[in-house]
Structure 1
Amino acid sequence: MDNLGIDPRELESAFSLFTEASNQLSLAYADLQQQVVSLTDQLEIANGNLRRELDEKAALSRRLSLLLQRLPGGVVELNEHGVVVEFNPAAGLMMKSLCLGAVWQQYITEHLQASNGPDLWLSQTENGERRISIMVNDMPNEHGKIMLIHDVSDMWELQRALTQHKRLAAMGEMTAGLAHQLRTPLATALLYSAHLAKPELSDQDRQKFGQKNLARLRHLEVLIQNMLSFVRGQDVPLESVNLLGLLNEAQQMMLPQLSSHQISCVLNVSSGADTLAVSANRKELLGCVTNLLDNAMLASKKGDIIQLSLTLNEGMAEVNVEDQGCGMSVEVQERLFEPFFTTKKDGTGLGLAIVSNLLTRLGGEIGVNSNLGAGSSFTIRLPVLYCPTKV
């Protein structure tokens, strides 16, 4: 050993260091093995939890899919381009020829027709014509839309029957009022006719009584027509009606009468309201507006200004007719929309009742705000036309 020049103490020291390093490596390896076991256990637990979550989500997906298939209401999903990407069997039954990949705008144009009331549409099905309700909802965090379809044909028929029964009940209550309304102009017409039968009557007086008699008979005709309109309440075809165009037409129709009374009518349209449209029968809705304008004119005096306004408020189109006339008491306002209630000498008392009934059928309403000596303000509120071609 001396010949090799190695100090035994150095060799012993090196061996000790090697032994210590070997022990440290053994300990590190054992610790590493323990960590591997722990991580393996944690991974197995995580995988188990993940498998359970996947199984639960798969089960939920199956249940939702089954629920979607069994739902009596229709569900249609549109992508961001307005293309049908999914629909359930109920939607297919309620909307004939609906298919995946169909462009909703084109489908609406070809297969659906606007019905009476907001969001109601006529659809041709295997069981004939049905009324369906279409509600559109945005999908959270998505660009598409979900459309909920309900067949409301039976409910609509029940509501129609109930409305008719209410009208008949109201008609029974109005019989006494109707008799009075008819008796007065009829008695006057008979009196004028009796004068016409006198042989000694001059031609001038005969012409005067003849004109008065004709006026009374025409008043009777208007009263009977209004009564029939109120009682029948028949459905008429609805269409998309641009309110600005309708108000312009009403203003022009009333212009000759307003000018003769030296009364002005100013049309005010709020920002963005010029394109507002509602689902209504144009002729009937025009009659409502001209009725309010005529009432405002009769309540106004020479030099007054009638304000005709169009605004959009909380998804409802509002048409307001405001005058500077004599106003009304609270008692009059409470009875204003009752059939045969009138404050006019020659009024039938049915004009505002017909207006109120019509607006109710269209899903709208009419309100009044008035103070004696401070004028009156009538407001028509109608739901803005839902247009599924824009989804």
Structure 2
Amino acid sequence: MSLPATDDRLDARQLAEAFRQFSEASEALTGAYAGLQTQVGQLTERLSVLMGALPAGVVVLDRDGFVVQANRAVEAMFGQALAGVEWAHFSAARLAATDTPGEWQFETAGETRRVTRVDAALESGDGRIVLLNDVTDAHRMRLAVERNERLAAMGEMVAGLAHQLRTPLAAALLYTATLVQQEMGPADRERIGNRAIERLRHLEKLIRDMLLFARGETLGREPFSICELVAELTQTLEPLARAKGLDLASACTCGDTRVVGDRKAIAGALTNLLENAVQALDGGGVIRFDAALDGPLARFRVADSGRGIDPALQSRLFEPFFTTRPDGTGLGLAIARGVARAHGGDIGIQSEPGHGTTFTLTLAMGA
């Protein structure tokens, strides 16, 4: 049994209408796609212009870590095209960490340049963007400012320094002049000779500290164990503390963690803090020396149970040549702060009269 002709005409009309609607939708989609392509082309062109104009280096990586795009600035930095380069291998070979956290250095055209580096993942998860900003000139200016500040401080204190040099020198001259007296017995001669040597050593230390402060920089960099340094300094200072009847205890919770820096300079800064604590205490006093990790920092603390330090003096303790001891050079704490800051950290004090003093020295782990 066949369907009526009217049904065939109805189906044909519906099919034609459906085809017309499909054609209109297809044309609309084609137009929209063409519009999107135009917008993408414009955005791509603007992005290319922007990347070319940026003074900072821009590197775009795919999900496998290969460079898919790099602007002129970053290729000028390294003196080569970077497209297709495996970035992890390239950056490990060319970029070296510096003593300042977040800053890297590399050699190019016979000079050393410094950059800051920021890595950011794309929201799509298909890669990353690396931004490199050249801070070489800013670093040089910072070093110059720090050196000028040190030289200015030395200039302001030159009169006081001359007095400090004159006092031990005059004492040494007096003692040595006494040694030529023929009637002096062997025991007195030895006693006077030891005093002359003591004053000359003090003079030597004063000059050495002055040179360290003027230089204000670390000379070597090596990885070393935090806990091994704590144990070594404790062993060195323990006889001195025991001779004064003091209790010196240490602790380190850093495990096998190592920090990179000038081990000798850091040890000298911590030794200065420990010696100050020993000199500030009387028999029966307690000194606690500990080290721990504090986020990106290694934190050293030297706490004593002494008389504490007056708040009016605390703000001046780190001034060059300021000292409260007759035999002090006034440079130890200034040098210690310089060492800490050269390693991306700092030094601070907490003290209250009658409740002891705590010095905290920090170093950047990524230095």
Report if TM-score (shorter chain) is over 0.5: yes
Q: Give the CA deviation at 1:290.
A: 1.5
SS in 2 for 1:135: strand
Equivalent position to 1:338, from 319, 323, 334: 319
SS in 2 for 1:200: coil
1:280 aligns with 2:261: yes
SS in 1 for 2:173: helix
Question: Which residue of structure 2 lines up, in the alignment, with residue 3 of structure 1?
Answer: none
Q: 1:234 to 1:357 in 2, by over 3 A?
A: closer
Q: Give the CA deviation at 1:230.
A: 0.8
Which whole-Å CA distance do the structure 2 matches of 1:295 and 1:356 have between them? Answer: 14
Query: TM-score, normalization: structure 1?
Result: 0.80
Equivalent position to 2:289, from 303, 308, 331: 308
Residue by residue over 1:23-71, the C-alpha shift from the partner in whole angstroms, topping out at 9 and shown as x without a partner, is: x876776566556545544443343333322321232223323433443
Which whole-Å CA distance do the structure 1 matches of 2:293 and 2:127 have between them? Answer: 26
Which whole-Å CA distance do the structure 1 matches of 2:64 and 2:280 have between them? Answer: 53
Question: Which residue of structure 2 lines up, in the alignment, with residue 61 of structure 1?
Answer: 44
SS in 1 for 2:328: coil
Query: TM-score, normalization: structure 2?
Result: 0.85
Question: Which residue of structure 2 lines up, in the alignment, with residue 104 of structure 1?
Answer: 88
Amino acid at match of 2:247: I
Question: Which residue of structure 2 lines up, in the alignment, with residue 225 of structure 1?
Answer: 208
SS in 2 for 1:291: helix
1:74 aligns with 2:57: yes
Question: Which residue of structure 1 lines up, in the alignment, with residue 342 of structure 2?
Answer: 361
Q: What is the alpha-carbon root mean square deviation over aligned residues?
A: 3.1
Which whole-Å CA distance do the structure 2 matches of 1:250 and 1:191 have between them? Answer: 36
Which whole-Å CA distance do the structure 2 matches of 1:105 and 1:252 have between them? Answer: 43
Q: Give the CA deviation at 1:219.
A: 0.2
1:382 aligns with 2:366: no
**Percent of paired sites with the same residue:** 37
Which whole-Å CA distance do the structure 2 matches of 1:62 and 1:86 have between them? Answer: 13
- Contact (CA 8 Å) 2:218, 2:262: kept in 1 or not? no
1:352 aligns with 2:333: yes
Question: Which residue of structure 2 lines up, in the alignment, with residue 142 of structure 1?
Answer: 125
Amino acid at match of 1:208: R
Q: Give the CA deviation at 1:101.
A: 4.3
Question: Which residue of structure 2 lines up, in the alignment, with residue 176 of structure 1?
Answer: 159
Q: 1:326 to 1:310 in 2, by over 3 A?
A: same
Which whole-Å CA distance do the structure 2 matches of 1:38 and 1:97 have between them? Answer: 55
Q: 1:136 to 1:103 in 2, by over 3 A?
A: closer
Question: Which residue of structure 1 lines up, in the alignment, with residue 168 of structure 2?
Answer: 185
Which whole-Å CA distance do the structure 1 matches of 2:270 and 2:100 have between them? Answer: 19
Highest Rg: 1 or 2? Answer: 1
1:268 aligns with 2:249: no
Q: Give the CA deviation at 1:265.
A: 1.9
Question: Which residue of structure 2 lines up, in the alignment, with residue 195 of structure 1?
Answer: 178
SS in 2 for 1:117: coil
Which whole-Å CA distance do the structure 2 matches of 1:97 and 1:244 have between them? Answer: 44
Amino acid at match of 1:329: D
Q: Across the two proteins, how many residue pairs are aligned to each other?
A: 363
Question: Which residue of structure 1 lines up, in the alignment, with residue 307 of structure 2?
Answer: 326
- Contact (CA 8 Å) 2:60, 2:127: kept in 1 or not? yes
- Contact (CA 8 Å) 2:119, 2:128: kept in 1 or not? yes
Residue by residue over 1:231-268, the C-alpha shift from the partner in whole angstroms, topping out at 9 and shown as x without a partner, is: 12245233344433332332233233233334222213
- Contact (CA 8 Å) 1:318, 1:382: kept in 2 or not? yes
Which whole-Å CA distance do the structure 2 matches of 1:133 and 1:315 have between them? Answer: 17
Amino acid at match of 2:232: E
- Contact (CA 8 Å) 2:114, 2:135: kept in 1 or not? yes
Q: 1:194 to 1:315 in 2, by over 3 A?
A: same
Q: Give the CA deviation at 1:218.
A: 0.6
Equivalent position to 2:272, from 282, 286, 291: 291
Structure 2 unaligned residues grouped into runs of 5+? none
Structure 1 unaligned residues grouped into runs of 5+? 1-16, 387-391
- Contact (CA 8 Å) 2:223, 2:259: kept in 1 or not? yes
Q: 1:374 to 1:139 in 2, by over 3 A?
A: farther
1:207 aligns with 2:190: yes
Amino acid at match of 1:175: V
SS in 1 for 2:132: strand
1:161 aligns with 2:174: no
Which whole-Å CA distance do the structure 1 matches of 2:81 and 2:229 have between them? Answer: 35
- Contact (CA 8 Å) 2:230, 2:252: kept in 1 or not? no
